[in-house]
Amino acid sequence: MERKQLIAEVEGILQTYCEGCLLKATFRKEKGKSFAHKFCITKCTVGEQLRKCGEQLLK
């Protein structure tokens, strides 16, 4: 996939799933920003998709 397409895909995923995410907002409020960020990266299925796109961008 082309770099521009991957960046557009990441933007689309973030806008569709991450903006207004209740889990992220709740974790930020209750456990802090670092915990919420770590959860999104390691345990959220959307975070897994974003990580895969990032890996492709690094190639």
Residue 23 sits at φ, ψ, to 5 deg, of -60, -50
Confidence at residue 31, expressed as pLDDT on a 0 to 100 scale: 97
* Residues whose CB falls within 8 Å of the CB of residue 31, separated by 6 or more in sequence, listed in order: none
Note whether 18 and 46 are within 8 A (CB).
Answer: yes
Q: Which residue has the tokens 């992220």?
A: 24
* Contact present, 27 and 36 (Cβ < 8 Å): yes
pLDDT digits (tens, 9 = 90+) for 8-31: 999 999 999 999 999 999 999 999
Domain chopping of the chain, boundaries: 3-7+14-58
Spatial separation of the C-alpha atoms in residues 44 and 40, rounded to whole Å: 5
pLDDT per residue as tens digits for the range 37-59: 999 999 999 999 999 999 999 98
